Amino acid sequence: MASAPGSRTAGGRRSGPIEAWRAARPFLGASSRDLVVLVVVSALAGFAEAGVLLLIVRSALVVTGSDGTADVVLGPLDLSGMSVATLLWVAAGLLAFVIAARFWGSRLIATVSARALTQSRESVFRAFMGASWDVQSEERSGHLQDIMSTNLERVALVSLQVATGLAAAFQFGALLVSGVVIDPLAAAAILLMVVALFFVFRPVSGMARRAARASVDAKRDLTHGIAEAVSMAEEIRAFDVGDAVVAQVEAASADVSSLHRRSKFLAKVLPALYQNAALLVILAGLLAVHAAGVEDVAGLGAVVLMLVRALTYSQVVQVSHQAVADLVPYLDEAREEQARYEAAAVDRTGDPLEGIERLTFRGVTYSYDGDVAALRSVDLDVARGEAVGIVGPSGSGKSTFMQVLLRLRSPQEGEMLVNGRPAEDFALGGWSERVAFVPQEGRLFSGTIRDNVRFHRPWLTDEEIGDALERAHVAGEVAGFPRGWDTHAGERGGGAVSGGQRQRLCIARALAGRPDVLVLDEPTSALDMRSESLIRDTLLALKGEVTMFVIAHRLSTLSVCDRLVVLEKGVVTAVGPTDEVMATNPFLVDAVRLARR
């Protein structure tokens, strides 16, 4: 089983208190001011609560006659000689402050958690969208969604626990300081025992953290297995191996259940053990203080109440720390993925690009593994308005050629020139406006036809959208829909749009920005004859107006091209007029012969 990003690795990384805080800190930077305010408010609330407890004990002793005086000093306030009623009113005032401080602190904690979730999601998604195509194309299916939901929701939980733990720690500290001021001996004795107790429970906390990390790993494996089963459902049914796949998922689910049970048991039992052990420590401390002959009954009673109350806060600190430690693997993975995306950020700066008159590939070479070249020394010169077909067997380098043309990948050797200048000289934003892309499978997102053609480009006017629909030969069909442009398309068309219409809507999307270059990847591969004919008419109408690169296998689609470029094993084996290359190139001669069968 793979080690979780936050677990202890071969390098010895651990998730102790300091490591847990370091993991959480990057997600809390924007909330520093709120955390400082929370700490101050919590400390003041702790001191106020200590005052309430002391006043209650003093008042009770006076009422019962156990102490004939009501001498009370709270820091700069000397309340000696005051009546019990006055002391109780002061206690009520302090209690009102404690309640208000708790309310304020709760709002601050909620704010910190919500801000951490929002900003972490924005940061990770922005980093992914700014990463290179090399990184984006290698992203596992569902991985980013898992990071954005599962991991970053844990960021919100961690922020909540860190803020809660900080508040409780300073309230604990305030009560402890108050106890030391009132009765140093009693407070010091009990404090030493509580510190010893922390070290006694440290190994148990380590067991809980390790169980939590193992549970995270097992859940990830289970999720991956289910995702694979869903994506390969057709093959599983065809080979009738559903029972074997179910058995694998059931085994992984059993592992998750076992590890989850162990993790949650330790997480629940640890605070209870700690609290009861701490009470035993207080009892032992009281016996030690009694043996030392302490006579200040009122002070000792107040200290005991403060320390019992402080136990509640120490338990909150313990639980918060445990929760943060359990969630560190999720934080580490989110932070590492964001760092990976940021390290692959694309440089978008450069000169503006006014237009593309000529594109030149000069010795372009690209390899994915540094060994086998997907493209090797490709030379090609294309003038404005030409229609160039890119053809070749599977694995010949057509997709890589297209990605270099779109500047998704940069040549590792050679260069692509635009109007005689290196393409890298021009800003990516301007490049994307001048070079448009139509993928093999036309995809529509959830929204109207108008939204899908505009495609997140709010500056495009309705006139430009209408013109693009006309040029894509789909305007009449869209006008015939009950709601016209406002017809909901949805993913894959949502049933309202046919496959051919969807592909032509994607062509309209590409044409809406009036590009100079149009790159089409197998635009008719999955269409019926009528839809193919309509798209062919669209391409014919665009000839001479825009430069077209058409990657295709269908000979009818290639017939609209002025020239053909044949790629085989990454090497250009033929370039020339369409008819000539089709008649002389062995690969295309074979393709024509097979098509006539």
- pLDDT tens-digit readout, 246-285: 888 888 888 878 877 777 777 666 666 766 676 666 666 5
At residue 499, the pLDDT reads 78
Residue 222, both tokens = 């289970």
**506/520 Cα distance (integer angstroms):** 10
Mean pLDDT of the chain: 80
Comparing C-alpha atoms, which of 14, 24, 1 is closest to residue 334? 24
Predicted confidence band at 139 (pLDDT cuts at 50, 70, 90)? confident
Lowest mean pLDDT of 88-92, 140-144, 286-290, name the range: 286-290
Q: Of residues 363 and 330, which shows the higher confidence score?
A: 363
At residue 4, the pLDDT reads 38
**386/542 Cα distance (integer angstroms):** 10
Q: Are 319 and 227 in contact (CB under 8 A)?
A: no
Predicted confidence band at 198 (pLDDT cuts at 50, 70, 90)? low
Predicted confidence band at 318 (pLDDT cuts at 50, 70, 90)? confident
Answer yes or no: is pLDDT of 337 > 80: yes
**423/353 Cα distance (integer angstroms):** 10
At residue 467, the pLDDT reads 92
Predicted confidence band at 17 (pLDDT cuts at 50, 70, 90)? low
At residue 371, the pLDDT reads 82
Dmax (CA) for the chain in angstroms is 117
Cα separation values, 149 from 143, 154, 184, Å: 10, 9, 50
With b meaning 16 or more CB within 10 Å and e meaning fewer, what string describes 247-275? eeeeebeebbeebbebbeebbeebeeebe
User: Taking residues 366-381, what's their average pLDDT?
Assistant: 91
At residue 8, the pLDDT reads 38
**567/392 Cα distance (integer angstroms):** 5
Q: What is the pTM of this model?
A: 0.72
Q: How many CB atoms lie within 10 A of CB 589?
A: 13
**Would you put residue 12 in left (φ > 0), alpha (ψ -120 to 50) or beta?**
left
Lowest mean pLDDT of 255-269, 473-487, 495-509, name the range: 255-269
Answer yes or no: is pLDDT of 575 > 60: yes
At residue 532, the pLDDT reads 79
Q: What percent of the chain has pLDDT over 90?
A: 23
Residue 322, both tokens = 């445990």
**588/494 Cα distance (integer angstroms):** 37
Answer yes or no: is pLDDT of 217 > 50: yes
Determine the straight-line distance between the first and last CA of the chain, rounded to whole angstroms.
52
Q: Are 286 and 26 in contact (CB under 8 A)?
A: no
**388/549 Cα distance (integer angstroms):** 5
**64/430 Cα distance (integer angstroms):** 85
At residue 493, the pLDDT reads 46
Distance of CA 80 to the CA centre of its chain: 59
At residue 75, the pLDDT reads 47
Answer yes or no: is pLDDT of 590 > 70: yes
Q: How many CB atoms lie within 10 A of CB 449?
A: 26
Per DSSP, the three-state class of 389 is strand
Predicted confidence band at 64 (pLDDT cuts at 50, 70, 90)? low
